[in-house]
Amino acid sequence: MRETIRKEGHVSQIPTPIDLRSDTVTRPDAEMRKAIARAEVGDDVFGEDPTMNRLLEQVSARLGKEAAIFVPSGTMGNQICVNVHTRPGDEALAHVQGHVLDLEGGAAAALAGVHVTGLPGANGVIDSEVIRHAIRPPNEHSPRTRLLCLENTHNVAGGTIWPLEALEKASAVAHQAGLVVHLDGARIWNASVATGVDPAQYAQHADTVMVCFSKGLGAPVGSAVAGSRDVVDKLRYVRKKYGGAMRQVGVLAAACLYALENNIDRLADDHKNAALLAGYLGEVDGVSIPHPVETNIIVVNLEGLGVTASLVVEELKKRGVLAVSLGENVVRFVTHKDVNESEVEKAGQETVEVLRQVRG
């Protein structure tokens, strides 16, 4: 793909970068825009947006829950759940690299007054015994451990999938101890396409589940939370408090419905492309891919190369490949619907050259 820019009177051609920073960079395509243009709308704060109501029915059905609520971002979806499931001073448990702990601006502490304890776990999967030991027995000194947050697929651990049995066990341990379980399923669609496990089978082990439409599914904006009718009523109240109650949201719901109906199965292509890219990167001595590439995310560790992630990201950018640094020596690549196989191949070749060049 090329775009033309005008500069000092002449037209020059620069290649559009191959953007592998995140699957959030996907843009609504022509068909999705048609669906947006056709959307019937109403005031959703009065519950009168017909397109939103259709989306929420579809989301609750797909996740096997009684009800659902729409939110502008996944962060808001997770955080209204943290708020509803806890009281100030409570403790939540999450993976030490979990989005809810590490990538939401400290919202659990700032907005819900909850402290989140990070638990270890290979590939983002926390062993149920680790959870059992982390749950504090009730006493007058300790915070009340109230909530367990799980993430499937796990973003920073490389798009890895919670095996269904592990999820079931973790959830059972938490529920037995009286905790509430929240599932951050921003990319639950990827997990489902990769394994053939229905999203509802994952969701049945959680009291609330948050899903995103704005990532690999290609919608411009939007996430949802599904749960019982009772919990969704409570979430509506907190969403209002957090500023997330919106009016003619049918224009967004139409994009999300389009995404659900058309863009789930094709995630398999993103997974194939991620494996292809990982194949290229794995060729370079000193580069390690610490997590299995199970879906659309590749986390690359450069410690063995002795170069920083920011240097590699800069060099890649010069060659028209965009990735993000996730730490001093860690670079992340994400495949998605707006990069095709030949672009991913090109990105792989460029990245191999950059890695060999910076190693010196």
Count of residues for the chain? 360
The radius of gyration computed from the CA coordinates of the chain, to the nearest angstrom, equals 21
Tell whether residue 99 is a contact of ligand PLP (CB under 6 A). Answer: yes
Q: Supply φ then ψ for residue 204, to 5 degrees.
A: -65, -20
Tell whether residue 73 is a contact of ligand PLP (CB under 6 A). Answer: yes
CB proximity list for 30: less than 8 A, separation 6 or greater? none
Contact 323, 316 (CB under 8 A): yes
Stretch of 12-20, 73-81, 307-315, 340-348 contacting ligand PLP, by CB under 6 A: 73-81
Tell whether residue 223 is a contact of ligand PLP (CB under 6 A). Answer: yes
How many angstroms separate the Cα of 225 from the Cα of each of 29, 73, 93, 202? 25, 10, 19, 14
The residue among 128 and 223 lying less far from ligand PLP, judged by its C-beta, is: 223
Site map (CB under 6 A) of ligand PLP, residues 146-185, x = contact: -----x---x----------------------------x-
**Minimum Å distance from CB 155 to ligand PLP?**
4
**Minimum Å distance from CB 124 to ligand PLP?**
9
Can you tell me the distance from the alpha carbon of 326 to that of 161, in angstroms, rounded to the nearest whole number? 19
Tell whether residue 186 is a contact of ligand PLP (CB under 6 A). Answer: yes
The footprint of ligand PLP on this chain (CB under 6 A) covers a number of residues equal to 12
Tell whether residue 21 is a contact of ligand PLP (CB under 6 A). Answer: no
**Minimum Å distance from CB 186 to ligand PLP?**
3
The residue among 78 and 351 lying less far from ligand PLP, judged by its C-beta, is: 78
CB proximity list for 339: less than 8 A, separation 6 or greater? 18, 19, 20, 273, 347
Distance of CA 90 to the CA centre of its chain: 25
How many angstroms separate the Cα of 311 from the Cα of each of 15, 286, 335, 344? 21, 16, 21, 21
**Minimum Å distance from CB 22 to ligand PLP?**
8
**Minimum Å distance from CB 217 to ligand PLP?**
12
Tell whether residue 75 is a contact of ligand PLP (CB under 6 A). Answer: yes
**Minimum Å distance from CB 91 to ligand PLP?**
20
Stretch of 47-55, 74-82, 127-135, 162-170 contacting ligand PLP, by CB under 6 A: 74-82
Which residue's Cβ lies closest to ligand PLP? 74
- What's the one-letter identity of residue 266? R
How many angstroms separate the Cα of 266 from the Cα of each of 158, 216, 271? 19, 9, 9
Residues contributing to the site for ligand PLP (CB under 6 A): 73-75, 78, 99, 151, 155, 184, 186, 212, 214, 223
